[in-house]
Structure 1
């Protein structure tokens, strides 16, 4: 459950990743991207309720044959704050429905 989740570690990993990517490509800083987040099911995961919750918040959702869920949001700025806002929100939704985060990615502008 989310009470046991290491939010500080997740936030620090995201901050580090964003900073490193901006260091490698300064043009990406603040550019609009489509952010994709992946979630893997645990035992007892409820894909239907997670899909509904994500769609309610405006995320595009793809459910794979293996049960993994990809949530996407378009036109957000490539900044730590923006990415973390969406990552934290979707992770809370996922954890409460039996899924665990499995990373994020984006299409370079």
Structure 2
């Protein structure tokens, strides 16, 4: 099964539009991924994301991995650009995207 990047992008742009007027100028973006398999390669995914400039945090209690980037200038396109990169990597390790958020300093 192929991933629907078009739908994912549309959802991201719609989500951002709902709070764009209140969005910070700069923030850290965090993207969440959950494993599709109990034997998921958490370490491999973290190494691959880190090689692309993301910081990672595991929340194994929630069965999630966060990929963080920034602080960066916050626009819908900036969020999507990094989201697509992180998603492409995560899918290669059988992890599925589960949303994003902003962390202000």
Q: TM-score, normalised by structure 1?
A: 0.86
Deviation at 1:108, TM superposition (A): 4.0
Q: Which has the higher helix share?
A: 1
Deviation at 1:63, TM superposition (A): 1.5
1:33 matches 2:31 = no
Q: Which runs of 5+ in 1 are unaligned?
A: none
Q: Which runs of 5+ in 2 are unaligned?
A: none
Q: TM-score, normalised by structure 2?
A: 0.89
Deviation at 1:57, TM superposition (A): 1.1
Aligned length: 103
- Look up the match of 2:66: 70
The equivalences for 1:91-102 within 5 A come to 91-102=87-98
Deviating runs (4+, > 4 A) in structure 1? none
Say what the alpha-carbon RMSD is for the aligned residues.
1.6
- Look up the match of 2:83: 87
